[in-house]
Structure 1
Amino acid sequence: MSLDHPLNSLGFAKPPSETRVVVAMSGGVDSSVVAAQLAEEGYDVVGVTLQLYDHGAALAKKGACCAGRDIHDARRVAEQMGFPHYVLDYENIFQEAVIDEFADSYLAGATPVPCIRCNERVKFKDLLQTAKDLDADCMATGHYIQRFDGEIGPELHCAADANRDQSYFLFSTTPEQLSYLRFPLGHLKSKAETRALAAKYGLPVADKPDSQDICFVPNGNYASVIEKLRPGAAEPGEIVDQDGNVLGEHRGVIHYTIGQRRGLGIGGLADPLYVVKLDVDNKRVVVGPKELLATRTVPIREVNWLGNGDFMDSGEREISVKVRSTRPPAPAILRPISATEAEVELLTPEEGVSPGQACVFYENDSSRILGGGWIWKGR
């Protein structure tokens, strides 16, 4: 195809009918709309759904992402829109790359984010390679994020709808992966627009509720899943203050997170206390006043840099960061230490910063994501 052919909506200089795109279909409304829209535009669409765990096992739940119902829903959409659909068994990969680390991180006193690891190690790695093996020109997903062509290559930008933005969960996307990925929903202003498109195409999932929890965690009960995965993990121990004074007993460190206030079982004290540290080696939950939660310096490792130029050459710079998915970006100073390590200074201290969470970098006065890394130790 001649390079002077006008670019199609996915950025290729050829007709949609000659452009193959693999769509990662979870069975939800977002990825279903992406697949339907691209099929209607005339693209050579191939739908792929991953079975990530045994949907008949105790870990799964009705309606969870990539469980049995979702596979069925994705297949129905493909049949209705007239494109091929495949289900790939990724149970072993998902267990090793995501679930095992999730359990081990909790046992080490961290607060992991398995959805990031799933995108990084499964969807944007193995599934992306499968898309290439199918001779697809690109892979499209239903994530709310935007990809723009910048001066030196594709850039990752926040979604137009700040309430749906998924940049926190996609910071580890590499430049190479970004070149191959497409996010057709990132420009939409609201989820209502997505559902309107689903209704327009007559999709059976148009009114399907959004998934709220981690797919393999029933009802958000992390501790019960970890106890199944690592029997004996919930050993009891002492709740102590910052001076080591015993205030009570806990039922297992895995039941607690940094910043937690409720459910400590140490009522009757004059001032409220919060979990400020998890001492896994000594099976202790350390509590203290709220001011002990304030964190200014955040050590980061496994940095993925999406900014221009080499990470180390970028030097100290003012940016904005998210240290939790539910918090807005806050002013900070980024100081590279090595190609994969950095220190972030929060200009306004934040509470409840926890090892195992991500720290995502944003360019000031811009929607661009500069990458991010993992918070790896306490304050």
Structure 2
Amino acid sequence: MRVLAAMSGGVDSAVAAARAVDAGHDVTGVHLALSRAGGTLRAGSRGCCTIEDAMDARRAADRLGIPFYVWDFSERFRDDVIEDFVAEYSAGRTPNPCMRCNERIKFAAVLEKALDLGFDAVCTGHYAILRTDESGALELHRASDNAKDQSYVLGVLTADQLAHTLFPLGDTPSKALVRAEAEARGLTVAHKPDSHDICFIPDGDTRGWLADRVGTATGDIVDRTGAVVGSHEGAHAFTVGQRRGLSLGVPAPDGKPRFVLEVRPVSNTVVVGPKEALATAEISGDRFTWTGRAPAASEFPCDVQIRAHADPVAATARLDDGVLSVRPDIPFDGVAPGQTAVLYDGTRVIGQFTVAETVSAVPVLSVAARP
């Protein structure tokens, strides 16, 4: 089988490519150039897709004896990931750029180009497992190493994409074993730090990065009754559940910390309240996909994960008139519109949707009803 190995320059993708070679596939390595900032260099474990990463990927490919290319996807990445990230924050939502990158770049644009060039599959270093059910259909499952499981960020994949994807690391019990294997193979990336944070914001200053692109504008911070309790320099800098960075001039009546409950971009207003008000009784959205076979019933039990490293929560999902809604058995702790909810059946990924609406589990007290 002709396999295109997506090589980020890290240890995971290098070992995944090596295992694809060992499996007897005709492997070609490719590194994605996602930034046109030619002088960009990696800073420790921050950032990725840099010149340094490209060179590391090339050295790994040379060691494996496979052809290697660099594909320029910088314009597509800018349009589909970076601009989407800015637009979502500007609209008061909290996006996950890794989900968008997997959905629109790595498993859409790259896979499409690979198939056009005659490749049969794309191989990546993600930690997830592909299995075949009784009917022969492919399923996406959590990785053996729960600490490294990346099935959440792969929840955007469709059945057709799964049919042309390989995840050679999914059954590996630990990342330490991957590093040991890389060292044994003579790969120089064996002990390279993992990348963290948003790759196009390597210094980690998301608020400053957004301010440069969206600008600043003074607005009010209000409590749940609408009373002004502080001010800010741009609603885009806040997300639901945030505690730090709030300039509150009026303390809470009970003296407890307050958290961001809602971001209203039209009025440039941020709503804050007590931690218990973050409890979310229901989430819903109409941008959903199924990972493999679709559920047989319009209402079904599932586990739901709302962040990459969050614990799954038992819930009931319902599809009604093109809207997928989820009611957890125990309220979620703060969900922001724009987040991705991934649905599971045990270890199997059912599908995902982008959260558009949330319902609080704590009713709002009117001004008149306040004690």
> What TM-score, normalized by structure 2, do the two folds share?
0.91
**Separation (CA, whole Å) in 2 of partners of 1:38 and 1:280:** 47
Q: CA deviation at 1:300?
A: 2.1
1:154 equivalent in structure 2: 138
Question: AA paired with 2:230?
Answer: G
> How much does 1:360 deviate?
0.5
Q: Which amino acid aligns with 1:149?
A: T
1:279 corresponds, among 264, 270, 281, to: 264
- Paired residues in the alignment total 353
Q: Find 2:228's aligned residue among 246, 250, 262.
A: 246
The answer to whether the 8 Å contact 1:55/1:68 transfers is no
CA separation of 1:290/1:254 partners in 2, compared to 1, >3 Å: closer, same or farther? same
Q: Mean alpha-carbon deviation: is it higher for 241-250 or for 115-124?
A: 241-250
Question: Counterpart of 2:286 in 1: which secondary structure?
Answer: strand
Residue 312 (structure 2) aligns with:
329
Q: Which has the higher contact order (CA 8 A, sep 6+)?
A: 2
The residue identity in structure 2 corresponding to 1:306 is T
Cα offset, 1:370, TM superposition: 0.4
Select 2:343's aligned residue among 351, 361, 373.
Answer: 361
For residues 158 and 125 of structure 2, the distance between their equivalents in structure 1, rounded to whole angstroms, comes to 18
Contact 1:61/1:216, CA 8 A, preserved across alignment: no
| Aligned position for 1:28 | 10
Give 1:285-300 correspondences, 5 Å limit: 285-300=270-285
2-structure distance, mates of 1:258, 1:235: 19
Letter of the structure 1 residue corresponding to residue 131 of structure 2: F
Q: What 5-or-longer segments of structure 2 have no aligned partner? A: 360-371
What SS is found at the alignment partner of 1:168?
A: coil
Q: Cα offset for 1:178?
A: 0.3
Shift of 1:33: 0.6
* Residue 287 (structure 2) aligned to one of 299, 302, 307: 302
Aligned equivalent of 1:219, options 193, 203, 223 = 203
From 329, 332, 339, the counterpart of 1:347: 329
Question: What's the counterpart of residue 78 of structure 2?
Answer: 95
How much is the aligned-residue C-alpha RMSD, in angstroms? 1.7
Quote the offset at 1:218 in angstroms.
2.3
Task: Give, in angstroms, the shift of residue 41 of structure 1.
Answer: 4.2
Q: Distance in 2 between matches of 1:132 and 1:67?
A: 26
Which secondary structure does the structure 1 equivalent of 2:357 belong to? Answer: coil
Distance apart, 1:81 and its partner CA: 1.4
Matched AA of 1:314 = A
Pick closer, same or farther for the CA change 1:307–1:318 going to 2, 3 Å.
Answer: farther
Deviation at 1:61, TM superposition (A): 5.0
1:170 to 140, 150, 154: 154
What amino acid sits opposite 2:73 in the alignment?
Y
SS class of match (2:63): helix
TM-score, length basis structure 1: 0.89
> Deviations along 1:51-72, whole A, 9 cap, x unmatched?
01124368x7546221111101
Indicate whether 1:50 and 2:32 are aligned: yes
Matched residue of 1:206: which SS?
coil
Runs of 4+ in 1 over 4 A off after TM superposition: none
| Structure 1 residues without counterparts, runs of 5 or longer | 1-18
Q: Which of 259, 265, 285 is the aligned partner of 2:241?
A: 259
- When residues 73 and 61 of structure 1 are mapped into structure 2, their CA distance, relative to the original with a 3 A threshold, is closer
